[in-house]
Structure 1
């Protein structure tokens, strides 16, 4: 079963890659390495959720936002290389969580993105990861995801 068939079975479709909100690219390729700029949880160019995890946003809502952000990151990859089946290996997922000062479960929020990668790419989802708590993120969103991966043009 290829990646797109697996996504269909999971009831997932990639969105259209959101346009960059500033003077930078949504993703850039250097050799076989792709770096995706920070992606926020946008659905049809609209912010999914605003607020801080630990206040108006629950851990579960944060996880849902992380899943939407990682899908936007994969959409950036698809736009750049033409096909996400070319993804050979994930290298690093950086997750930023806008949270209250006393919130300490940032990793649990970013698990939403990591688990979705595992579901979509069960044979190559492994990645290094960092989950960082911040006081705010662009557009007031609770989560931002950055992704680095390797692609293989022979696939």
Structure 2
């Protein structure tokens, strides 16, 4: 029998949330150049820019406001967040070692007078909140840019505080 404290402890666990929400993380992406996906310095884990890819292929290509609408941009941001979480799990061994999401940077390739960047970025923020809980929401900075690597509409930059 599971006690209330054990249930609350599990409910606060990112690994538990993944199972409860039936989320299958993708295979962590490999670098597209000469860099590493994650570097830990003390209790901080820095991720390289994470893209909405599957394997070595961009699942979403184009700019929000031209080839893609806001909804597709949100889905691209969610996939990039899923890839980021997969990298974190691979690096740490368990998502339960994450103490805090410190910062989320979201770059969004846009065309023209697009103003929905925050709505696009929410695709990543909502996914991270589902996995880690609302108490782990990071600070966030959202940029509109002209283009991103391999033509993707979104690139994420994340910093985590982790248990050493």
Short-chain TM bin: over 0.9
Asked if the contact 1:87–1:149 (Cα under 8 Å) also holds between the matched residues in 2, the reply is yes
Residue of 135, 147, 155 corresponding to 1:136: 147
Q: Which of 1 and 2 has greater Rg?
A: 2
Q: Which runs of 4+ in 1 moved over 6 A?
A: none
Deviations 1:58-80 (A, max 9, x none): 11111111011011111111121
Q: Does 1:77 pair with 2:88? A: yes
May I ask how many residue pairs the two structures share in their alignment? 153
| Structure 1 residue runs without a partner (length 5+) | none
Q: Secondary structure at the match of 2:101?
A: strand
TM-score (norm 1): 0.93
Q: For residues 51-70 of structure 1, what are the structure 2 equivalents within 5 Å?
A: 51-70=62-81
| Structure 2 residue runs without a partner (length 5+) | 1-9
State how far apart, in whole Å, the 1-side matches of 2:16 and 2:95 are. Answer: 12
Query: What value does the CA root-mean-square deviation take over the aligned residues?
Result: 1.2
Q: For residues 3-152 of structure 1, what are the structure 2 equivalents within 5 Å?
A: 3-122=14-133, 124-152=135-163
TM-score (norm 2): 0.88
The structure with the greater share of residues assigned to helix is 2
